[in-house]
Structure 1
Amino acid sequence: MMATLTRRLGHHRWFGAAVRLLVPADRLIGRLTSGRVVALGLLPSLIITTTGRRSGQPRSNPLLYVSDGDAYVVIGSNWGQPHQPAWSLNLLAQPAAEVAVGGRRFPVHAALATGAERDRLWRLLVAEWPAYQTYVQRAGGREIRIFRLTPIPPGSA
């Protein structure tokens, strides 16, 4: 019920602004629970840690995701803002990252989705969070980056 309400509210501009204010708290809760509780547990969420493209420092962000086989699919919607989120620029510069989800932490390799794969993953994402369609309009129609995060098996890094 709360997830349904949250999905409905996600289309409103004020919702994105309010959530952006809560991201630091969500990041802290996610870190303290090793990714078990993110986005108040309402939607499938993870914490991604990228390497800052300029600073070289670790940068963690809570993100909604959908599963695609053994991979996780995330989108750089930035709540419909006109600019790309920093974490997506970090992944373009350095596709190695770490994910915390369901109490587990593990390395992943990020690949930018393009073409037919992007279209397929877009449909999966919109099925989980319909407001992504609204975010594209709000962002002036810019294409929103979609990444497929593939876990790196232990010992193969």
Structure 2
Amino acid sequence: MDDLSNELLSIKVGSDDYADAAAQDAPVVSRTYQSEEAFRKIAYTAINESGNNYERLLKAIPALDTQLEDPSMTNGDGAHVTHRTSKRDGQLLGYAVGELYYDKRFQDIIQLCERVKLACTMDGKTAESLQRWTQRCEQRMKTDLNGSMAATTTVGEHDRP
């Protein structure tokens, strides 16, 4: 029995192993290599953004449309269904608020933030952003009503000498 176990463990593999032969036959090519023919076959087009991210946001999340009475939608059972915001929706929301802020449509931003809170499920970071946007717009509306711009710091603005 001792001889049998030695024979099983003493298996010798020759140099004609298929794995070694296959590895030597394969040419070495970079993983990011793309031939000229493959490059020419792909039709590249530039993305043309025409602005109006607010309209794109309303198309992505229809519950945010201000023409609807109740921003939360219901399913057939009468239970409220909230839209779960994706990362792309969050970015689009930021772009839309930026455009509205640039156009000085502060009341629209406040309404949008309220509708997002009612109609969407979001992470804590987005909820913080909504609160900051609302506070900033309320502050801007107050300063605009007074006729003078008070010294305010914006989010991310540093003290300059």
TM range (shorter): under 0.3
Structure number with higher relative contact order (C-alpha < 8 Å, ≥ 6 residues apart)? 1
Kindly indicate which of the two structures has a greater share of residues assigned to helix.
Answer: 2
Q: TM-score, normalised by structure 2?
A: 0.26
Give the number of the structure whose residues are more often strand, by fraction. 1
